[in-house]
Amino acid sequence: MRSKLLPFSLTILALFTFSVGPIRSQTVVTFDDLYDNGFGTLITNAYQGLTWSNFGVVNSLLLSNSTSGHPFGYGYGMVSASNVAFNYAGNPAEIDALGTKFDLLSTYLTGAFNSNLNIEVQGFRGGTLLYDTTVVASATSPTLFTFDYMDIDRLYFNAFGGEPAFGGPSESNFAMDNMTIEFIPEPSSLLLLGLGLSALALSHRVALPYPRSRHRRRRF
């Protein structure tokens, strides 16, 4: 009886293991756990498990007390106190995964100097462009943009256009805050657990190759 149940148990276990998708872990990146003195600091690699290229972080509250005397769109774009991320010198910026994939669900964007700033956000997987959206950001209030970029390993931001909002020159810097992402571990820890249990069940079956006899010898 035991030998008949084992193949059925293994079938159910295999179906359960392979039918469950990767375990997703949602994260809201606020940038508030990074240090900045109010003048802008580059985000180092591996922050939040990602690689950041040409992205900086600035403390909006300290910036308003600095020699500029005004936070510009950096202050208006702050959703959670007190940091926001920005693209250094207004140049394109990039976020890459470290050995996994992730989803970009949404983020708040604000023009740091220009109103009606165009921000193109591209999502790649394995070098292939999958998503390409251009949004228009205000300079005086943060706007939540929903992207729903799924299973990507690279994000590329490029800002352009708009009109000066604070009487200065035209600049393509933007502020970003409270970015919501989901990580997709590969391979899934649940898949590894299922494979381990399957191997254990198989080894147990090999240890009992023959069923016990149903007949007992009669004693006299």
- pLDDT tens digits along 25-71: 799 999 999 999 988 999 988 999 999 999 999 999 988 765 555 67
- pLDDT tens digits along 80-131: 999 999 999 999 999 999 888 999 999 999 999 999 999 999 999 999 999 9
Domains of the chain (ranges; CATH) run 25-184 (2.60.120.1350)
User: Is the bond leading into 82 cis (omega within 30 degrees of zero)?
Assistant: yes
Specify the pLDDT at position 175.
Answer: 98
- pLDDT grade for 185, boundaries at 50, 70 and 90: confident
Backbone φ and ψ of 91, nearest 5° = -85, 165
Mean pLDDT of the chain: 82
- pLDDT tens digits along 147-170: 999 999 999 999 999 999 998 899
Q: Which residues contact 20 (CB under 8 A, 6 or more apart)?
A: 188, 190, 191
| CB of 133 closer than 8 Å to CB of 158 | no
- Is the pLDDT at 210 greater than 50? The verdict is no
Whole-angstrom CA distances from 148 to 20, 105, 127 are 21, 4, 19
Specify the pLDDT at position 209.
Answer: 41
The residues with which 143 forms a beta bridge, in sequence order, are 109
